[in-house]
Amino acid sequence: MKIEQKSEAFTIYLILGSMFIAALVASNLIFQKFFYWNPFGLFRFELSVGILPYPITFLITDIISEIYGRKRANQVVIAGIFASFFSMIIILIANYVPAIDNSPINNEIFSKVFGLSPIAVLASMLAYLFAQFVDIKIYHFWKQKTKGKHLWLRNNFSTFSSQFIDTITVITLLCLFEVLPWDLFSTLLISGFLFKILIAILDTPILYFIVHLFKSRFHLKTGEEINLID
């Protein structure tokens, strides 16, 4: 690969990584708002808005796994962990600093919106840590088994497994920490898992399209990955 192409590939890798971190941090900040979605009247999903950017993180790690390899995907996951904990520290400091009398947002409102975020981030990080590494490991297991073919198989199998682990872990921890009441456990577990499965199925064509663009741009063969070091 030419130096110009390798530089372009590295820039794209950084952009994907930044999108991953932004989606992850945002999901931890906005999780306390809940909504419902009833597509075509078939099923009523009751979900946290924090779930909206979260599937993007799994799509991005699948893209990075496919194009850049397992090591690069794990690096982005670890960077996301540090970013989340760093954002939690910022929130703690901001929550501790007293508001002035004419502040548009007073201490009570700020604490109500962000006060539980550190606990939520901790729960989310534990779930996220397990789920992302499981996703990457299963993805590459099926990539090796299929010799780089059947992209849909590894994309969906890895995501289904990891999303179930993520959903049940984070909801269990949030209920244990009394951030959420236990009577919402079943509803949120079913809604969250089904929603993530639906998104995983819908994003499969997107993954195929993006991988096709990469292969065309960088002339990659089936199963070939970009080495950013050599």
Asked if residue 224 belongs to a domain, the reply is: no
CA distance 16 to 228: 14
Q: Residue 213's pLDDT is what?
A: 92
Number of domains making up the chain: 1
CA distance 183 to 89: 31
Q: Residue 225's pLDDT is what?
A: 85
Q: Residue 81's pLDDT is what?
A: 85
Q: And the tokens for 191?
A: 């809604």
* Residues of the chain scoring pLDDT < 70: 1, 116-124, 230
Asked if residue 223 belongs to a domain, the reply is: no
Asked if residue 147 belongs to a domain, the reply is: yes
Residue 103: domain span:
3-218
Q: Residue 18's pLDDT is what?
A: 95
- What CATH number is given to the structural domain containing 23? 1.10.1760
Structural contact between residues 114 and 137, judged by C-beta atoms closer than 8 angstroms = no
Sign of the C-alpha dihedral computed for residues 167, 179, 129 and 9 taken in this order = positive
Q: Residue 119's pLDDT is what?
A: 65
- Predicted model pTM: 0.82
Q: Residue 21's pLDDT is what?
A: 92
Asked if residue 225 belongs to a domain, the reply is: no
| Residue 134 C-beta-side C-alpha neighbours within 13 Å | 17
Among 119, 155, 132, 134, residue whose Cα is nearest residue 28: 119
Asked if residue 22 belongs to a domain, the reply is: yes
Asked if residue 11 belongs to a domain, the reply is: yes
Helix (H, G, I), strand (E, B) or coil at 162: helix
Asked if residue 226 belongs to a domain, the reply is: no
Helix (H, G, I), strand (E, B) or coil at 104: coil
Q: Residue 43's pLDDT is what?
A: 77
Asked if residue 127 belongs to a domain, the reply is: yes
Sheet strands (E) in 63-166: none
Among 131, 150, 168, residue whose Cα is nearest residue 55: 131
What Rg, from alpha-carbon coordinates, does the chain have?
19
Per-residue CA distances from 136 to 1, 110, 139, 140 (Å): 25, 36, 5, 6
